[in-house]
Chains A and B, each alone.
Chain A
Amino acid sequence: MTVAPTVPASRSGQARSRGPAHLSGQGRLERRWGVAMALPAILGFAIFTIGPMIASFVFSLTDWTIGGSPSFVGLGNYRTLGGDELFWKSLSVTTYYTLGAVPLALVIGFVVALLLNQKVRGLALWRTIYYLPTLVPAVASAVLWIWIFNPDFGLLNSLLREGGLPTSQWIYSEGAAVPSLVIMSTWGFGNAMVIFLAGLQGVPRHLYEAVSIDGGGVWQRFRHVTLPMMTPTIFYNLVTGVIGTFQVFNQAYVMTQGGPNNATLFYIYYLWRTAFTESQMGYASALAWILFMVIMVITFFLFRNARRWVYYEMAGAR
């Protein structure tokens, strides 16, 4: 999970009423304990984030096979990337997957959240039913879906055959492989749904009442209250969804090994293969940095575009 870009820092400056009776020792005590208690987090950030980030960038400027000694190649890796067909293939496969998976999860998650936001009997049960798939460990769901996609005896083709419909080779055909994985990912729309549900609970009731007093019906309530009030949540799910799908790995590793014919060569899978089976640490680091930049650029444009449609209740809440 990632953090809502809209939330941080807004409350960090929350003023605390400090009595004038404050002893001078108290400030020093807080300072000392404050730094000490934040220390594990600060060290963790230094050791597991900033340090590796710098190292990763340095690695990306070298030609380095693990076990050997690195040689500095400047931007050579990045230049090689430009002509690397598999790099472009993995980028397009990943984009294709994101364009399919994110909108589907958002739309279905939103609709189901709307339904479950009604006074429904057995609410806990419904919520559980729709949330369950997201709890399934990635590997277990991969194993399950290989079987569901099995062309001869799998669930999907069995159903299609019984309905007299044309069957598919699913993950075993170049054309259907990514759409198959999109279907599989949509099964886990529960994550987006839960966040939508939380968002729906935050919509102020009095706004609905206002619309009702003006004679507005269900549609007006949805169009003029729910939808605008939910745009920050939709935006949050969109951003985290895109960032998440750009980092897909397990399906490619467990289910398809990037095949058939590189049709599911997801970006991180390609990176993984480069680093840990071909042992090209420098080149793989360059791949990582390009991914970082791609994600930053996409996020930047999403944020810029958001100004046009995301509605924030409080001005200045970013």
Chain B
Amino acid sequence: MSSVAGVSGTRGRRMRPGRLALYVVLVLGAVPTMLPFVWLIRSALMNDDQIFVAPPDWIPNPFEWANFSGALTAQPFLRYFLNTMVIELFTVTGTVLTCSVAAFSFARLRWRGRNVVFALLLSSVMLPYAVTLIPTFVMWRSLGALDTFLPLTVPAWFAGAGGGVFNVFLLRQFFLTIPFELDEAAYIDGASPWKVFAMIIMPLSKPALVVVTIFTFIGVWNDFLGPLLYLSDESKYTLALGLASFQSVYTAQWGYLMAASAAVIAPIIVLFFVLQRYFIEGVTLTGIKS
């Protein structure tokens, strides 16, 4: 965490005015960044009378907490939440499991064609999703899997398929940093590669696994296109899809809309606060800086 302040050591003590300017700029920059959130929250807590006044009020009076209960019962958001969590459970488990197994193979087991296969996998990350979108849809359709969670969860069990390859890359980078002597010693003791993976590599890789878990979780939480494509029965909607349909129904009920949006945003922000340092670590882990 503290390592972010990298360069600072070379800056002298004499930079007092510069220091002040720095904070001024940071504060000024934070205003446009945070303003939409403030606008969201104040609108979520207002009734229509307060929302539609010009010039706008910034402090709700009275606080319209009923927007939240109103919005969240106007559509089955609890149902959407549970649907989302079911998809999360299967997607995160599948991704973490199959991606780390594959990453272990690419990082620490030697087999012919390994590097070619890995390079091929990586290249798929550059492919625009539009190219595979239609045939994948047709495939699920012909399997009769439309309007089920299968198209949204099964690819995760194939190392995340497509975009998930990024996780294989990230985990592989991490696995490469673990001393190979550990494997050697275990093999001499007669361990199988699976045992090395499960008993040595996985326990040492918790930070990387946490990062993949978080990224995957957020990816599912934010996904809109997938559910839009595959789910049509309203009882199967995810939060993102539910919010979008809510938006098209309650176009004029801004208080409700903002309350619902806040409810979809809040969990992810809480998650970020709790796990903040892993996010930064995740970006550093990928080795992008080199």
Point out residues on A near B: beta carbons under 8 Å: 1-14, 16-17, 19, 21, 26-27, 29-31, 33-38, 40-45, 47-49, 51-53, 55-56, 59, 66, 112, 115-120, 123-124, 126-133, 135-140, 142-148, 152-153, 155, 158, 161-162, 187, 194-195, 197-203, 205, 208-209, 212, 218, 221, 226, 232-233, 236, 243, 246-247, 249-250, 253-254, 268, 271, 275-276, 281, 284-285, 287-289, 291-292, 295, 299, 317
Contacts and interface: CB of A to CB of B under 8 A. Distances in A.
A118 B11 contact: yes
9 contacts: A2-B166, A45-B120, A130-B30, A132-B272, A135-B265, A144-B40, A147-B254, A153-B54, A247-B130
Nearest to B187: A26
Interface of A is mostly: helix
B66 interface: no
B268 A9 contact: no
Contacts of A53: 127, 131-132, 135
A19 B51 CA distance: 73
Given A139-B224, A271-B130, 8 more contacts: A1-B166, A9-B119, A16-B110, A34-B110, A37-B193, A52-B132, A152-B54, A201-B289
B205 interface: no
Nearest to B260: A143
Contacts of B73: none
B20 interface: no
Interface residues of B, number: 125
Contacts of A26: 187
Contact of B8 (A1, A119, A195): A119
A292 B128 contact: yes
B4 A148 contact: no
Given A128-B276, A288-B131, A43 B158 contact: yes
Interface in B150-206: 155, 157-166, 168-169, 173, 176, 180, 184, 187-188, 192-194, 197
Contacts of B273: 128
Contact of B6 (A1, A205, A268, A284): A205
B119 to A, nearest CB: 6
Interface string B41-79: 001000000011011100000000000000000000000
B225 A52 contact: no
A31 B117 CA distance: 14
B33 A132 contact: yes
Nearest to A130: B33
A3 B36 contact: no
B105 A34 contact: yes
By Cβ-Cβ distance, the 5 closest A-B pairs, closest first, are A44-B158, A119-B8, A202-B289, A34-B111, A34-B109
B115 A288 contact: no
A93 to B, nearest CB: 16
A201 B118 contact: no
A199 to B, nearest CB: 5
A200 B8 CA distance: 11
A11 B258 CA distance: 48
A44 to B, nearest CB: 3
B264 interface: yes
B243 interface: yes
A221 B10 contact: yes
B162 A49 contact: yes
A21 B185 CA distance: 12
Interface in B272-289: 272-273, 276, 279-280, 283-284, 286-289
B286 A4 contact: yes
Contacts of B39: 144, 147-148, 155
B22 A115 contact: yes
A4 B288 CA distance: 6
A291 B288 CA distance: 26
A116 B4 contact: yes
A5 B119 CA distance: 11
A52 B124 CA distance: 12
A292 B126 CA distance: 10
A162 B54 CA distance: 9
Contacts of A55: 135, 138-139
B10 A132 contact: no
Contacts of A209: 10
A232 B287 CA distance: 12
Interface in B4-30: 4-11, 18, 22-23, 25-26, 29-30
B210 interface: no
Contact of B115 (A3, A6, A13, A30): A13
